[in-house]
Structure formats: structure tokens, C-alpha cells
Chain A
Amino acid sequence: MSYQTQGFNIDNSGRRVVVDPVTRIEGHLRCEVNLDGNNVITNAVSTGTMWRGLEVILKGRDPRDAWAFTERICGVCTGTHALTSVRAVEDALGIKIPDNANIIRNLMQGTLWVHDHLVHFYHLHALDWVDVVSALSADPKRTSELAQSLSNWPMSSPGYFRDLQSRLKRFVDSGQLGPFRNGYWGHPAYKLPPEANLMAVAHYLEALDFQKEIVKIHTIFGGKNPHPNWLVGGMPCAINVDDVGAVGAINMERLNLVSKIIDDIITFCDQVYLPDVIAIASFYKDWGAIGGGLSSQSVLSYGDFPDRANDYSASSLLVPTGAVINGNFKEIMPVNLRDPEEIQEFVPHSWYSYPEGAKGLHPFDGVTQPHFELGKDFKGRKTKIEQLDEAGKYSWIKAPRWRGHAMEVGPLARYLIGYHQNRPDIKEPVDALLGKLNVPVTALFSTLGRTAARCLEAQWAAHKMRYFFDKLIANIKNGDTATANVDRWEPRTWPAEVKGVGFTEAPRGALGHWVKIKNTRIDSYQCVVPTTWNGSPRDEQGQIGAFEASLMNTRMAKPEEPLEILRTIHSFDPCLACSTHVLSPAGEELVNVKVC
């Protein structure tokens, strides 16, 4: 069977390759592809293979608790669901938060962005580009020269790399390779010279040490990480820099620690992360033309980082909001999360059924009726699936569409929108990076483009944290230390029936929560999350989602070692627990509950 959609020719007649589990992601994902005679992918199928059901569980609970439940949707992008949730509840109840709370939330979100992007690049994505075993044959002296030519990062002496190499050698010689066991070492798609590999392995380990420092900002304001604490109406951490009891609140010592960590983050992004991405990308420029998928056609961003508290309009959001369809970047359209015609979800290829079949549903009106049913041509048996049939239902992920279009979300989407809006804080670093790599702007529409945009965004967020921290200090200097608004804390002050929307840009892309509150309890709660957009299965028209589109037309060097698939899928930083967190028991009637 073959057909055209979104400029791709889908043909599932060739040899089928299954990758399950796709590792180095959050959650459980399966990929199946068909290859033609030249090992080029002609059909791609991505399947979310887990399902949890938080929205069903949220029904009937106290809306002030919702942040804690939704935060547990994902421990990797920890906090972003909580932030989205308190925004949704505040929107519903008409709560205005103090400026300091807005600033602290932006600092928390910035922390998450940097942490998530850094861990993604070094610990989830780097092994797609870096051959650990090849690092054993590197010359430490030349590695040192390479590192010093890239940045002033001090950990770059020949002795440092020699020690590291010898530790690595003893590790490999032990025969206990741990997480590097059965990797695709020596695969022809690995292009880095041994010295670059050794440097990257060093930074893999340094980043592993450093990431735990970044999250201390969450710990200071939220008490712990993963899963810091939040509050409807502000933030729970009181500020007291002057008076008795200051040691039990945000005081000068705490602020100094935050400031130091921000400095360290900026240094690490400037001196390690970005130089590494440039160095690695310069050996993989061909990947600037692979894996573009939907990014050149349809991208979406809700926007985030409100500069002014309680103002979520485009002029206040430091991360741009907008949608592009049909590749027309000249026209960036506004996004309205409340418009029932804009965001809709479909289920013809998802393991759910709708009462009205093909009709898409806006999150405020969503329905969830799980319906596990394999397509008629699947291979294996129900509890031992060998091959799925994408003509039938094949994923626990629903198919969200914006005005009927499958969209890509994430750092690349945000950067493409910001770039085409000519925002200097986005356009200038992008142009500088393109210039350094000597590639055209169209190279952004690629696997490499996603990885590069993520890096630039981490750097952007690091500098914005400094901006917000300075604002916080200015407020405190002016005597404003309020962190919470408790006017509507007590449920008896709430209207009987309200609804609200909260949104953020999670590290992986656009995230929205829709809540309805009735008689002080959650009546319905729904989330549409980034990986639901990117990992979407097909819809009624056969439109494919961003993962599937990005795999199309990629040539695999050794199909039995699916390194190319991993590279492109990882460039999205998939989060499957997010995308498939909703469910309801078979046979139970669920009204106003919907799966994202």
C-alpha cells in the first residue's frame, strides 16, 4: 500500500524493521519502519506503549492538589506540568500571583530547561554521535589541543584526558560495560575522530556531575528535585532577608547560592555545551539535511516565560507564541487554546473510541473510551506483538491537530518561530551558529537543527535566569517580598462552576492543561503534552505525526543496528510518560475525560 501525505510518499511494502524498546528516552516507545532496496525508510510507525490515567484519577480532587498529581506525569521535565497546572487553576479561579512568584517560577522553569536540555544532549543523545570505544585510541595531547581550541573551559589538560582515558580503558577491559554494553560501537555512521570522542566522553561525565548542581535552584525554591513543590496563588517559599527567622526562608545566603549556580550554568553552556555541539555538528553536517520531518511545514509554540506577572499575552512572553502551517513562515498565526476549532484530538489510529467516531474534540469537551484492538494484519499475539498494523489502531497516544494539521513542537519549533519573527535574542545566535558551521538556514529543518536549537535555547535560558534573578533582587531592594496571594486560597471563596487553561513551553514543546472546577472539586482535567504532538499516530486522512515524518527517507547504513532511527527520534527528546498518562478502565463510562 502506498499513498502521499504532507509531501511524503508512504510505502509499507519493503522489509520491516522493529525497534522496541527505543532506549534513552523517558517512558516506553516502539518504532517500526519499512525499508526499500537501498535501506531507505519508506514508512515509519511510532507507538506509545504505556498508559497511566492521571486525568481520571484527578476527577473529584481538590484543584489545589492538582499540581502534585500532574507533576508526576513526568520526572524528567519535572515541575513543568506542575507550573502548567497552577496556571490553569489560577486562570479558572481568577487568582493573580505576586511579581516575585512569577519571577521565581520563571527561574524554576529556566532551571528545568537548562537541566533537561543538558541531560538530554549528553546522556540521552550524545551516544548517537559519540563512539565511546573509539575514545580509547585517542591521543590525550591532541585531545587537549582540540578542547583548548574550542573554549577556555579549564578541564582540558593532556593529563586530565590521559587519566580519564586510562579509567575508561580499565572499565572497558573489565568486560563489565554497564550502560555501554551492546552499543553500536564501530558503526559506520559514527564519524567523530578518536580525540573528539574522548573529549565528548569527558564532557559526558562532567555534565553528569554538573547537572545535579543545576537543580539545586529547584531545591532552594521548591524543597527538592525531582518533583519540587508549588503553590496555587504563588510560591511556597517566603522571602525574609532582613529580620528574625531569616534562616527559615529565602535569605541572602540562599540568593547567593542561586546566583552562583546561574553563573556556573552560563559558563557551562558557553564553554562546554555550545562548543561541543558545534564541534560534533561539524563532523555531521550531512545530518543538516536528514530528519526534518514536519519542521519545514508545521510548527507550534504556545510561548512561555511571562515577563510581567499574570500577563500571558504575546507581548509579555519571552518565548514566542505562534503557529505556522504549510511551510509559510511569513505568516505566523496566533494560537488560542480556548478556541474549540483550533486544538482538537482524533483517535482513529489510537487505542480509544469516540462516540461520534471521526469528529475531533477540543480538550474542554474531550472523551476517553479506551479500546485496545490490534489492526487485522498485525503479527504475533495480543500479549506478544511482533509487528503492528498501522492501518488499524496502533498507539496509546492520541492524534492532536491544530486546525487539522499535524504539528511539530519543541525547541526547534520555538526557534523557527522566533527566528522568523526576527527576535534578536533568537536570530543572532542562530545566524552565528549557522555561520560557524557554514550551512544554510534550511539546515535548521533537520535532526541536527533540533539538537542545535535545544543547545541555543539552554544558553538563552541560562542568560534569562540571570535577567530574572536581577529582577528579583531589585524587587526585594524595593521592599517587595510577597510570594503568595491567599485571597482565594479557601475553597469557600470560589465560584460554583469555572474553567481555565494553563500553558507552558515544556523543554520538549507546547504543553497545555484544561481544568473545569465544579463545587470546589475538579470536574474534568485534561492535558495535551508535547510528545502527544510529536509522537502522534496517523489521523483519518492518514496524516503522519512528527516522529514518523522525521524518519521518512532516511537511509540506514546497517538496518540491524538502527543508529539513524535513534538519532532522529532522540532529537525530539521524547517523553512517553507525558504523552500517554491518561487512561480509563475498559467498560467504565467516562464522561469528559480524555486521553492526551
Chain B
Amino acid sequence: MQMESFYDVMRSQGVSRRSFLKFCSLTATSMGLGAGFVPQIAHALENQPRTPVIWLHGLECTCCSESFIRSAHPLAKDAILSMISLDYDDTIMAAAGHQAEAILDEITTKYKGNYIVAVEGNPPLNEDGMFCMPGGEPFVEKLKRVSKDASAIIAWGACASWGCVQAAKPNPTRATPVADVITDKPIIKVPGCPPIPEVMAAVITYMVTFGRIPPLDRQGRPKMFYGQRIHDKCYRRPHFDAGQFVEDWDDEGARKGYCLYKMGCKGPTTYNACSTVRWNDGVSFPIQSGHGCIGCSENGFWDKGSFYDRVVDINQFGIESNADKIGLTVAGAAGAAIVAHAAVSAIKSTALKRQDLKSLNDVQREETR
């Protein structure tokens, strides 16, 4: 059977070879790769059959799927029709029920070791996993079965990467990140709630184009998009360095686009490409639209205190405690104790001086006896 390559698709749409190579070079640039990669990209797009992708949904909200279809380059339709073969995705697939489940067996057998599993959401482990039971079985079983022969796993979004909102304290379903359940496969974490559309598309096209997983950082995230903090590339950074902040919503500073640090912006601790790639075809990103970053691509961002506080809660000291509250309390108590102690010391000292009419050594000898 003839496989339709990406190049075939483009030619059939009337794209010239020249334009095709231009596309390849743009792709290389957008991935942060040098011109030397252009022939490699072109070769891959010309010759490879599309890699099957199985997209599973656990406990989630489908924001990752929604984000993926927002991709502007490549367009979601081009990614789905020409770059990958999205053979299973409950959110958009035509088949349902038995016909849908049969696809899982077909792909995992026919493409053994050569398909990618993309996971949106995560498996709950409490109640024998029955808090998420597609097909009448625990999602965790389905995830393990389908992942067994995959070449790699993509953990889409904060849910699959870290646990996200259902894993926020007290995590009643014991929603568990994918990497804690699947331990024998390479896992690429693409965190965010959701991740940026073009980042999702770039990660998956990088994998099918180069046939390898992207270099990952310490926490398993692609370095190319998660290597820098939002703060590092934020266009409001000069206002931070200058000491110009939004002090209140809709104040003078807000209208002038000052730094949102005092409104709780988590840009300084959040690794993501929002301030560079921006959102929805580069239209804006949270800070540009006046709200601080809530840190949605960071592990456990739900449990770091209010989104509007900079000094974070420390949960071990109770839900409402943060370093400043603890510190002020302790320092205040210590200050009071010092004053009291000094006062007692002064009184005792005066009393002792009176007693010191006796020789010092006598007193001590009495005590040691």
C-alpha cells in the first residue's frame, strides 16, 4: 500500500519543491535548529510513513486536546492528516465503543515498538482505579497495556506530567502522574495547563521528523521550550528591574503595563515558552493581558498558596502559613522573650550583687555541695 508522505501531501496541494524546502527551513528555525538540519527535515518529510499516535485520556479536562487543535504552525489539520497518524483519540475519532477499542489492538500489534502514546490526564489509583473506567476497566490498566510496546510516551500537560488539579491536596482519587505508573519507557513531559499549542505540535513533529526524543532537562521536559523562565524573556522585565510594579488591579501601573510581580506573578519560577512563543498564534500571553502567570507548567502549582501572593504558603505549617507569617511570629516572640529575659536578668543581677557581700567562691562552694 502506498504511504502518503508529508511531501506528497504538499505537492498534491500545489506546493512547489522550492516552497517545500522553504517550509523545511522555517521549521528548522522555529525549532531552534540551524540551517544544517534543513536537508534532514526535508528527507524525513519526503520519505517517512506517518508515525501512529495513540492519544489516551485519563482524568483530565480535555484542555490539552483543545490546545493542540489551536496550533497555527503546523495547522492541526496538517499535523493530523500529514505528519502523524492519529489513529486513536476518543475526543475526535469517528469510531466508538468496540470499533474504537479494536483500533488499540490493531495499532499495538501492527506497529509494535514504533508508535507513540500521548497521554492527556492521569490515572487515579484509589478505589482500584475505578474513578476513571473507560471501557468498564480502570484507566491505569488501559494505559499500561497500550504503553507496553510504545516507542515513547508523551505526557501532555500538567495532569500527565505532575498530577494537576485533581492531584491538588488532598488528592482524593490519588491521581498519579504518568511517570509514576510507566517506568520503563522514555517519557517526554510537556507540562502546562494546557501547554502552548505550537509547543505541543513542535514536540510531536520533532519526534516524528528526527526519529528521536528531544533533549530533556532534569525534570524530563524538552529543553527547547522549557529551558527558560517566563520571567527571563518577559517583555515587562525592565519594569521589574526598575522597581515599577502594578500595586492594584486597574491602577496606573496596570494601564502602563508595569511588572505584575506584586500581584503574585509566578513568572520568576515558571519554566515555559509563554513569553517567547506566546499564545494562540502569538497574540498574547497571560502577563501581556494583565494577569500574572499562575505557574501552570510547574509541579504542584495548585498548592503554593494563593495565585496572588508572592511569598508562598508552606503547607507543613498549616494551610494559611507562609514564611513571612511564621518569621514575624517567631521573631516577635523572640523579641518579647529577650526583653523579658533581660528584665529578669537585671533583677537577678541586682539581687546577686547584694549577696555578693559574701565571697563569690563561698557561694559557689555551697552550690556544688
Binding site for B on A (CB under 8 A): 18-28, 30, 49-54, 56-57, 60-62, 64-65, 68-69, 72-76, 78, 119, 123-124, 127, 132, 163, 166-167, 170-171, 173-184, 205, 208-209, 211-212, 215-216, 218-231, 233-240, 243-245, 247-249, 257, 370, 372, 380, 382-386, 396, 481-484, 486, 489, 521, 560-562, 566, 577, 583-586, 588
For the complex, is B348 an interface residue (Cβ under 8 Å from A)?
no
Q: Please judge, given known A-B contacts A216-B280, A220-B283, A227-B194, whether A181 and B62 are in contact too, CB under 8 Å.
A: no
For the complex, is B70 an interface residue (Cβ under 8 Å from A)?
yes
Question: From residue A536, how far is it (CB to closest CB) to chain B in Å?
Answer: 19
- Chain A minimum-CB-distance residue to B49: A176
For the complex, is B311 an interface residue (Cβ under 8 Å from A)?
no
Number of A-B contacts (CB under 8 A): 357
Q: What per-residue 1/0 map shows which CB atoms of B152-186 lie under 8 Å from chain A?
A: 00000000000011101111111100000000000
B129–A21 CB distance below 8 A: no
Stretch at the interface among B25-33, B37-45, B284-292, B324-332: B284-292
For the complex, is B191 an interface residue (Cβ under 8 Å from A)?
no
A22–B97 CB distance below 8 A: yes
CA distance A230 to B52 in the complex (A): 38
CA distance A28 to B291 in the complex (A): 33
A170–B96 CB distance below 8 A: no
Stretch at the interface among B85-93, B212-220, B221-229, B336-344: B85-93
Write 22 A-B pairs (CB below 8 A) sorted by A numbering.
A20-B134, A21-B90, A23-B95, A51-B173, A52-B166, A68-B307, A124-B91, A167-B9, A176-B85, A179-B80, A212-B76, A221-B289, A224-B286, A225-B280, A226-B66, A229-B294, A234-B249, A372-B130, A481-B255, A486-B249, A566-B96, A583-B172
> Which of A166, A244, A385, A585 contacts B12 (CB under 8 A)?
A166
Q: Please judge, given known A-B contacts A167-B12, A182-B102, whether A53 and B173 are in contact too, CB under 8 Å.
A: yes
Further 16 A-B residue pairs, CB within 8 A, beyond A75-B194, A124-B91, A245-B255: A26-B61, A30-B136, A50-B134, A56-B172, A65-B308, A174-B3, A179-B89, A211-B69, A212-B71, A219-B280, A223-B286, A224-B279, A226-B63, A227-B63, A249-B254, A562-B97
Interface centre among B248, B254, B307 (most CB of A within 10 A): B254
A50–B250 CB distance below 8 A: no
A489–B248 CB distance below 8 A: yes
The B interface is mostly helix, strand or loop, or mixed, namely loop
CA distance A73 to B164 in the complex (A): 11
For the complex, is B190 an interface residue (Cβ under 8 Å from A)?
no
> Which of A22, A50, A209 contacts B133 (CB under 8 A)?
A50
For the complex, is B143 an interface residue (Cβ under 8 Å from A)?
no
Binding site for A on B (CB under 8 A): 1-4, 8-9, 12-14, 49-50, 52, 57, 59-67, 69-72, 75-77, 80-81, 84-103, 124, 126-138, 141, 164-166, 168-175, 193-194, 197, 236, 248-250, 254-258, 274, 279-281, 283-291, 294, 296, 302, 306-308, 319-320
Residues of chain B lying within 8 A (CB to CB) of residue A78: 63, 66
> Which of B66, B193, B288 contacts A248 (CB under 8 A)?
B288
CA distance A54 to B284 in the complex (A): 29
- Chain A minimum-CB-distance residue to B319: A60
Residues of chain A lying within 8 A (CB to CB) of residue B193: 72, 227
- Chain B minimum-CB-distance residue to A220: B284
Residues of chain B lying within 8 A (CB to CB) of residue A73: 61
CA distance A521 to B103 in the complex (A): 48
Question: From residue A80, how far is it (CB to closest CB) to chain B in Å?
Answer: 12
Question: From residue A124, how far is it (CB to closest CB) to chain B in Å?
Answer: 7
Question: From residue A493, how far is it (CB to closest CB) to chain B in Å?
Answer: 13
A216–B281 CB distance below 8 A: yes
Interface centre among A75, A208, A211 (most CB of B within 10 A): A75
CA distance A215 to B76 in the complex (A): 15
B1–A28 CB distance below 8 A: no
B126–A585 CB distance below 8 A: yes
Interface centre among B94, B97, B170 (most CB of A within 10 A): B94
Question: From residue B354, how far is it (CB to closest CB) to chain A in Å?
Answer: 51
CA distance A22 to B98 in the complex (A): 10
B96–A23 CB distance below 8 A: yes
CA distance A245 to B257 in the complex (A): 6
CA distance A173 to B281 in the complex (A): 32
A223–B248 CB distance below 8 A: no
Residues of chain B lying within 8 A (CB to CB) of residue A176: 3-4, 49-50, 52, 85, 87
Question: From residue B324, how far is it (CB to closest CB) to chain A in Å?
Answer: 15
A229–B286 CB distance below 8 A: yes
B87–A181 CB distance below 8 A: yes
CA distance A240 to B50 in the complex (A): 48
A181–B94 CB distance below 8 A: yes
> Which of A23, A54, A380, A586 contacts B100 (CB under 8 A)?
A23
B59–A52 CB distance below 8 A: yes
A19–B96 CB distance below 8 A: yes
- Chain A minimum-CB-distance residue to B250: A484
Question: From residue B174, how far is it (CB to closest CB) to chain A in Å?
Answer: 8
Question: From residue A460, how far is it (CB to closest CB) to chain B in Å?
Answer: 23
B70–A50 CB distance below 8 A: no
B319–A26 CB distance below 8 A: no
Question: From residue A397, how far is it (CB to closest CB) to chain B in Å?
Answer: 13
A76–B283 CB distance below 8 A: no
Residues of chain B lying within 8 A (CB to CB) of residue A481: 255
- Chain A minimum-CB-distance residue to B4: A174
Question: From residue B287, how far is it (CB to closest CB) to chain A in Å?
Answer: 7
B283–A167 CB distance below 8 A: no
Q: Please judge, given known A-B contacts A227-B63, A229-B289, whether A234 and B92 are in contact too, CB under 8 Å.
A: no
A179–B133 CB distance below 8 A: no
> Which of B85, B92, B250 contacts A124 (CB under 8 A)?
B92
B172–A382 CB distance below 8 A: no
Question: From residue A378, how far is it (CB to closest CB) to chain B in Å?
Answer: 10
Residues of chain A lying within 8 A (CB to CB) of residue B194: 75, 226-227
Residues of chain A lying within 8 A (CB to CB) of residue B66: 75-76, 78, 226
Residues of chain A lying within 8 A (CB to CB) of residue B9: 167, 170-171
B256–A248 CB distance below 8 A: yes
A175–B132 CB distance below 8 A: no
CA distance A585 to B131 in the complex (A): 10
Residues of chain A lying within 8 A (CB to CB) of residue B2: 173-174
B283–A216 CB distance below 8 A: yes
Q: Please judge, given known A-B contacts A68-B294, A227-B193, A385-B133, whether A57 and B168 are in contact too, CB under 8 Å.
A: yes
Residues of chain A lying within 8 A (CB to CB) of residue B171: 57
CA distance A19 to B254 in the complex (A): 52
CA distance A228 to B168 in the complex (A): 20
B4–A249 CB distance below 8 A: no
Residues of chain A lying within 8 A (CB to CB) of residue B127: 370, 372, 586
A75–B62 CB distance below 8 A: yes
Closest 9 CB pairs of A and B: A248-B257, A75-B63, A245-B256, A183-B94, A223-B286, A385-B136, A223-B289, A229-B291, A236-B291
- Chain B minimum-CB-distance residue to A131: B94
CA distance A183 to B72 in the complex (A): 27
Residues of chain B lying within 8 A (CB to CB) of residue A225: 70, 279-280
A181–B103 CB distance below 8 A: yes
Residues of chain B lying within 8 A (CB to CB) of residue A583: 131, 172-173
CA distance A65 to B291 in the complex (A): 13
CA distance A585 to B127 in the complex (A): 8
A562–B96 CB distance below 8 A: yes
CA distance A421 to B280 in the complex (A): 39
CA distance A235 to B290 in the complex (A): 9
CA distance A223 to B193 in the complex (A): 13
Question: From residue A27, how far is it (CB to closest CB) to chain B in Å?
Answer: 7
CA distance A462 to B309 in the complex (A): 37
- Chain B minimum-CB-distance residue to A224: B279
Q: Please judge, given known A-B contacts A184-B95, A240-B255, whether A383 and B173 are in contact too, CB under 8 Å.
A: no
> Which of A57, A124, A183 contacts B166 (CB under 8 A)?
A57
Residues of chain A lying within 8 A (CB to CB) of residue B290: 223, 235-238, 249
A226–B67 CB distance below 8 A: yes
B93–A585 CB distance below 8 A: no
Question: From residue B274, how far is it (CB to closest CB) to chain A in Å?
Answer: 8
A53–B3 CB distance below 8 A: no
Q: Please judge, given known A-B contacts A212-B70, A219-B280, A486-B249, whether A205 and B77 are in contact too, CB under 8 Å.
A: yes
